[in-house]
Amino acid sequence: MRDTVFTNFDEQKATLWGEHILPLKHNLHERSTFTNDGLATLLDSIPEDRIAINTMGPKGDDVSTWSYCQRGDLSGEQLIEAVGQGRIWINLTKINETAEEFGDLLDEMFASIGVHVRDLNVYRNSMGLLISSPNAQVFYHADVPGQSLWQIRGEKRIYIYPNRPPFLHASDLEGIIRGVTEEEIGYEPWFDEHASVFDLKPGDMLHWPLNGPHRVENKDCLNVSLTTEHWTPEIRRHFAVHYGNSVLRSFGWTPKSTDLYGPNAWAKFGLTAFWRLSGMQKRQSFKRKVRFKLDMSAPGLLVPLHANNGMAQA
């Protein structure tokens, strides 16, 4: 097995994987998959439930402006045009499951990681494809599984913060893990004084510690990026313990332990399994509401949807 993706993944960087912020170089941006024509064809072939389209306010931290959009009748080519003109963020979620070439690419990427991080025991992974507007942004948030960001076209700036208080509180992480809140969490501008800041260009990749809060600002250019997420047995334990703690907190109990091993951990594993199998997860999970429809003839390319006509997304 050999590394066909990275150009600078050495032994020193392998020791940093998962524990520290790790910038790497890759060659994916040199491949022909990510032209406008290729992306437009892809957008026309992907099921609607795998295309998340968002808009947001200009620079600032008003999370309430982060809104979901209907595609309307736009073709893939028109969607790319809209991204170039508007303030739009498109995420083709789990694209490895719906486009064979991306499934093959995901396998190649993790095989190349495995050449260097030999004890990385990944049992599930997935890929998202991001197509986003000049000067678009993603607000301060945290993700649940292991995360990496791969820059393909354009440039963006990413701020990564410590995965501990005050930047990430246990109750906030628990809410994200249990799906009762969005990924966005409380942010203060002074957090930036403690952030690690990276300007990503095509060929740059960034991996950071589990649940590390982060936010993204595109430069004044259309951006294309890949995101990968992965699960290991350790990450699964982390998920189950924090999920169980969230259930306990919902009953007024303040959890005191996040240990991943021992009797308390096993009890939380059981509570997590029961809660999810009981249907409570689905009943209590956060529902996303679509507020706009894309329209090339509308101001800002967005047509507001009446509250009664908004579509909810699980």
- Work out the angle between the directed axes of helices 36-45 and 76-85 (0-180°, nearest 10): 120
Mean pLDDT of 43-63: 89
Please give the model's pTM, rounded to 2 decimal places: 0.92
Number of H helices, E strands in the chain: 8, 15
CA 304 to chain CA centroid, Å, is 26
Q: Which of 104-118, 216-230, 240-254 has the least mean pLDDT? A: 240-254
With a pLDDT cut of 90, the percent of the chain lying above it is 78
Q: Which residue has the tokens 């589990």?
A: 210
The CATH number of the domain covering residues in 11-231+289-313? 2.60.120.650
Mean pLDDT of 8-35: 94
CB atoms within 10 A of CB 144: 20
pLDDT at 310: 42
pLDDT at 105: 97
Q: Is the pLDDT of residue 162 over 60?
A: yes
For 63-100, letters b (16+ CB in 10 Å) and e give: bebbbbbbbbebebebbbbbbeebbbbbbbbbbbebbe
Read off the pLDDT of residues 272-292 as tens digits, 9 standing for 90 and up.
998 888 877 666 666 778 899
Query: What size, in residues, is the chain?
Result: 314
SS3 of 88, please? strand
DSSP letter assigned to residue 306 = P
Tokens of 48: 């609607």
CB of 264 closer than 8 Å to CB of 192: no
Confidence of residue 299 (pLDDT cuts 50, 70, 90): confident
Q: Is the pLDDT of residue 311 over 90?
A: no
Confidence of residue 179 (pLDDT cuts 50, 70, 90): confident
Backbone dihedral angles phi then psi of residue 28, each to the nearest 5 degrees: -65, -30
Confidence of residue 246 (pLDDT cuts 50, 70, 90): very high
Mean pLDDT of 131-143: 96
Cβ neighbours of residue 99 under 8 Å, at least 6 residues apart? 42, 45, 46
CA end-to-end distance (rounded Å), the chain: 40
CB of 51 closer than 8 Å to CB of 89: no
The residue ranking higher by pLDDT, 287 or 256, is 256
pLDDT at 314: 30
Confidence of residue 309 (pLDDT cuts 50, 70, 90): very low
Q: Is the pLDDT of residue 2 over 60?
A: yes
Residue by residue, DSSP assigns 165-182 as TTTS-HHHHHHHHHTSS-
Pairing of strands 288-294, 67-70: parallel
Read off the pLDDT of residues 193-242 as tens digits, 9 standing for 90 and up.
999 999 999 999 999 999 999 999 999 999 999 999 999 999 999 999 99
- Average pLDDT over the chain reads 91
Q: Domain locations in the chain?
A: 11-231+289-313, 233-277
CA distances, 310 to each of 65, 86, 181, 225, 298 (Å)? 16, 21, 19, 29, 18
Look at residues 53, 105, 27, 20 and name the one whose alpha carbon lies nearest to residue 305: 53
pLDDT at 277: 86
Query: What torsion do the CA atoms of 193, 199, 203, 204 make, to the nearest 10 degrees?
Result: 0
Read off the pLDDT of residues 75-94 as tens digits, 9 standing for 90 and up.
999 999 999 999 999 999 99
